[in-house]
Structure 1
Amino acid sequence: MTDLPNRMNALPTTRPLRLRRLTQAMCLGLALAQCAPLLAQTRRNDALSVSPRIPGARNLSTELKIEGVRTTSDYIVAVVNQEVITHTDVDKRVARIEEAAQDRSRLPDPAELRRQVLEALIDEKAQISHARTIGLSIPDSEVDLAIENIAAQNQLTLTDLRQRMQADGLDFDRYRSSLREQILLQRLREREVMPRIQISEADVDTFLREDPAAQAESNLNLAHILVRVPDNSSEAQVRQLQQRAEQIRDRAAQGVNFTQLVREYSDDRDTHDSGGAFGLRPTSRLPELFVSAVRGLRVGDVSQVVRSNAGFHVIKLVERENVAQASYTQQRARHILLRPTPQTSNRVLVAKMQDIRKKILEGQASFAQMARQHSEDGSGPRGGDLGWASPGQYVPEFEKALITLQPGEISQPVVTRFGVHLIQLIERREVQLSDAQRREAARAVLRERGFEAAYEEWARELRQAAWVEVRDEP
Structure 2
Amino acid sequence: MNVKIKLSDCVRPLLLGALFLGTAAQAEVRPLNRVVAIVDNDVVMQSQLDGRLREVQQTITQRGAALPPDGVLDQQVLERLIIENIQLQIGERSGIRVTDEELNQAIGTIAQRNGMSSEQFRAALAKDGLSYTDARDQVRREMIISRVRQRRVAERIQVTDQEVQNFLASDLGKMQLTEEFRLANILIPVTEGASPEDIQAADRQARELYQQLQQGADFAQLAIARSASETALEGGEMGWRKAGQLPPPFDAMLSALSVGQVTEPMRTPGGFIMIKLLEKRGGGSQVRDEVNVRHILIKPSEIRSEGETKRLIDRLHQRIMAGEDFSELAKNFSEDPGSALNGGTLSWIDPNVLVPEFREVMNNTPAGELSKPFKSPFGWHVLEVMGRRATDSSEQYREQQAMTVLRNRKYDEELQAWLRQIRDEAYVEIKL
> Normalising to structure 2: TM-score of the pair?
0.46
Which one has more relative contact order, counting CA pairs under 8 Å at least 6 apart?
Answer: 1
Asked which structure has the greater CA Rg, the reply is 2
